[in-house]
Amino acid sequence: MDYKTAGVDIEAGRSFVENIRTFVAATRRPEVLGNLGGFGGCFALPSGYSEPVLVSGTDGVGTKLKIAQSLDRHDTIGIDLVAMCANDVLTNGAEPLFFLDYLATGKLEGDRLAQVVKGISDGCQEAGCALLGGETAEMPGFYAPGEYDVAGFCVGIVEKGKILDGSQVRVGDRVIGLPSSGVHSNGFSLVRKIVDDRGLNWNDKAPFSDSSLGDVFLTPTRLYVQPILSALREGLDIRGMAHITGGGLPENLPRCLGEGQAIAIDRAAWQVRDLFRWIAAEGNVTDTDMFETFNMGMGYAIVVPKTERDRAITYLEKQHLAARDIGEVVAGEGNLIWS
């Protein structure tokens, strides 16, 4: 016997690395040192910082993977992976520098996983960070045929004096919501249960769209990195940021606040998309559970002084983001107040 008869094909692993070299190279930044294939990726800190601070984040895409694997469509999952990590790092005011990925599967199917890496490369290019390295693990007997899992790791940089940590936020500041591209990468255990319980197929036409259910729910998570970094460079006074992921607005918005603060949310400030209305109706999901599970159309939020509100909205609209004033910072205990 040898390793291959036990289910691990070392030669296939080498071939896979060669196949993804062009995807990795497309994300290269000037600070990257060396090439793909080392034990670790080397990255020089960018110049121009007096007190540089590194900000790190890690995440996955959850059971959205089940839909991609069911439809054998893997080209957008990598974008989700980068977005979930890079958007988190961005909330501290940090520019994402580099990204690492971890792919695990029962049998290394190079073409399928190459699609995943291509998506990661696309996401990294959109976020402006380098795909510095990663790990591909072939684990026979651990994953069912056709299954794989992914995890991502992102590192960004910010000047120490410009870290957003809640201390900059003031009562009276306005909360500007930025639209999501859909469900993003949270709540898919509920979405899948609704689809299964209703006897639907991912290839079925979505009642609320001209596309199939699979097309709608595989829409990748939106990356907010470049529009927000651009706004910061233009001098927009952003005092706090929140990435609306698992837990929805109630859990994530308060994370950008200081002590003794809350957010009064205007529910009428934006219209909830038919996608979320369909989920609620088909699953008989309460309004509370919907807002605590999904982003409900607001994938990211920034906090700005009231005097900066109009400027922020105008600038972000020019970045093709339909920004909305959705609330105000008020005195409170780190919660949301619905109106």
Average pLDDT of the chain is 95
The pair of structure tokens assigned to 192 is 């899948």
State yes or no: pLDDT of 114 exceeds 90: yes
Nearest CA among 288, 62, 325, 57 for reference residue 183: 62
> Quick one: pLDDT at residue 5?
77
Question: If we measure between CA atoms, which residue out of 2, 193, 11, 228 comes closest to residue 108?
Answer: 11
How far separated are the first and last CA of the chain, in Å rounded?
Answer: 68
CA atoms of 185 and 70, how far apart (whole Å): 16
Q: Give ∠ CA 74-75-78 in degrees, rounded to 5.
A: 90
- Determine the pLDDT at residue 178: 98
C-alpha–C-alpha distance, residues 141 and 153, integer Å: 26
Mean pLDDT for the stretch of residues 144-162: 96
Looking at residue 9, what is its pLDDT? 77
Angle at 293 between CA 267 and CA 145, to 5 degrees: 150
- pLDDT at res. 16: 80
Give the span between the Cα atoms of 62 and 66, in whole angstroms. 9
* Predicted confidence (pLDDT) at residue 7 exceeds the cutoff of 80: no
pLDDT digit string, tens, across residues 277-318: 999 999 999 999 999 999 999 999 999 999 999 999 999 999
Alpha-carbon gap, residue 148 to 142, rounded angstroms: 10
Three-state secondary structure call for residue 159: strand
Residues 311-333, mean pLDDT to the nearest whole number: 96
Per-residue pLDDT, 320: 94
Q: Which domains does the chain have, with CATH numbers?
A: 10-162 (3.30.1330.10), 174-338 (3.90.650.10)
DSSP-derived 3-state class of residue 152 = strand
| pLDDT one-digit tens code per residue, 253-263 | 999 999 999 99
* pLDDT at residue 59 tops 80: yes
Mark 172-198 as b/e (b = at least 16 C-beta within 10 Å).
ebbbbbbbbebbbbbbbebbbebbeee
Span 167-190, average pLDDT: 98
Tokens of 333: 């205990």
Rounded to two decimals, the pTM is 0.96
Residue 9 CA, chain-centre distance (Å), reads: 32
